[in-house]
Structure formats: C-alpha cells, structure tokens
Amino acid sequence: MKTPPARKTHFICLPLRSLSFQTKVTAFNALLPPTIHQSIVRPVGSLHFTLGVLSLRTPDEIETAVKFLQTCQDDARRLVDNKPVRVRLRGITSMQANVKKASVIYAVPEEGDGVLRALCSMSPILSR
C-alpha cells in the first residue's frame, strides 16, 4: 500500500505589498459581481506569492528550516540585486478542477525574466 504524501504544514511566501498591486487588486475586487460573497475575498494586505510548501512535523524540523532560510537570505538578495521582484500575472485559475467547489484561486505568473524561478530553485529544500 502506498504511503500518502505528508500533509503540508508551512509555506514560504513573498508578501505582495506594492501600492500598484494593491490598487489593481482593489479595482478588480470592485468589479466582482454582487453574487460573490465578500467573505471569500481576502484582504489586500494578506495576499502573497507562495514560493513553496513544507511538511515540518517536529520542532527540530522547524528549527532546521528557519536556520536554512536565514542562511540563504543574503544569496537571495544578491540574486535579485536588491531590486524588487516583478512578476506579470496572466490570469486567475482554481486549484480544484470543479470551480464551483474551489476553495483556493490563484493568479498564474508568466515566465518573465527568470528571477522568480531562480529564487524558487535556489535550494533543494525550496524546489522539492
């Protein structure tokens, strides 16, 4: 019998805080039809770009992950040359095949200049 994949407990993300992005999301939200209940729309300040998800089951695993992320901070800054990472989005889709049962929707990033992909694959921990 095949072992089910470990439940994901943590995620690594980049907060989406630029004024331009927040303005566009606010304008998009204003266009949503009244049939969409406002309780399912996330506050603009909570939106983020998920880089990866992890299954960390013990305090030791969490501590190891935190230490690793702290050590790669300088490498990540060098990779992006201390400039903002810009990502063009090309649409919204659902994680579930049946959109009516969707609990998560996300914006699909375009390939762009490859900086985001490079950030996401900096380490085996992040690219698994």
Does the residue 74 lie in any domain? Answer: yes
Question: What are the strands, taking DSSP E only, across the chain?
Answer: 10-15, 48-54, 89-94, 105-109
Does the residue 107 lie in any domain? Answer: no
Question: Which two three-digit tokens encode residue 12?
Answer: 């690594």
Does the residue 108 lie in any domain? Answer: no
Per residue in 37-73, pLDDT (tens digit) is 777 788 898 988 887 889 999 999 999 999 988 888 8
In sequence order, which ranges of 32-110 are alpha helices (DSSP H)?
A: 59-79
Radius of gyration of the chain (CA): 17
CB 49 within 8 A of CB 89: no
Q: Which residue matches tokens 């989005």?
A: 89
Measured from the Cβ of residue 87, the count of other Cβ atoms closer than 10 Å reads 17
Per residue in 109-118, pLDDT (tens digit) is 887 777 777 7
pLDDT at 125 over 60: no
Does the residue 122 lie in any domain? Answer: yes
Range of the domain at 60: 10-85+113-127
Does the residue 106 lie in any domain? Answer: no
Does the residue 94 lie in any domain? Answer: no
SS3 assignment, position 107: strand
* pTM of the model as a whole: 0.66
Using 50, 70 and 90 to split pLDDT, how confident is the model at 1? low
